[in-house]
Amino acid sequence: MDRVIVYVDDAAYAQEVLAPLFARGITTQTEWVLVACAPRMTHRISKWVSHSARENWRTKWADKLFAQILPALRAPASSVTTVIAKGPLVELTEQLQAAQSAAAQVVDARRPKSDNPEESQVGRRWSSPRPGTLLGSLLTGFSAVWMLALE
């Protein structure tokens, strides 16, 4: 029995990524392990939402995601297990692979943070200075030199 662990956070993107696996026509039994990776919540949300409310939201979010993906996985020779990620994915992967002696194929079908990695938000923030920062830096430098000259 083949075993495939799939990390998902968006149903439409995951179906695009998994389409080649479906197209190759798996004839053997396949055990699908779907791992829902819920969006991160900021650490400040704990002021407004209790831990149980966050867990309930994460469960409802994962149920909606699984409801969108499961119809595509329903093949006669397949079984599906659903898991909600609550910690680091490396540790979760090790636990899932240790559960079965057979090696599992791991597929990361999570949507990338940006479509073009070169234009990520961090890259844009530091790629060019903001207007006025160069002038501010020059004025600060000149004022520091001026203060040294006066002493």
Q: How far is CA 45 from CA 38, 58, 59, 86, 87, in A?
A: 15, 14, 17, 17, 18
The token duo for 6 is 């799939």
pLDDT value of position 49: 87
The tens digit of pLDDT for each residue in 95-135 reads 888 877 666 788 888 988 775 555 444 333 334 444 555 55
Of 126 and 30, the one with more pLDDT: 30
Place of tokens 């990338």: 112
pLDDT value of position 21: 77
Question: To 5 degrees, how large is the angle CA 121–CA 93–CA 43?
Answer: 45
pLDDT value of position 124: 39
Of 37, 26, 36, nearest in space to 3 by CA = 26
Of 90 and 120, the one with more pLDDT: 90
Statement: residue 11 has pLDDT above 50: yes
The tens digit of pLDDT for each residue in 47-88 reads 888 888 889 999 999 999 999 988 877 665 578 888 999 888
pLDDT value of position 145: 65
What is the spatial distance between Cα 26 and Cα 71, in angstroms, rounded to a whole number?
A: 16
Query: Which residues contact residue 31 at a Cβ distance below 8 angstroms, ignoring those fewer than 6 apart?
Result: 1, 2, 3, 4, 78, 79, 80, 81, 100
User: CA end-to-end span of the chain, whole Å?
Assistant: 81
8-12 average pLDDT score: 91
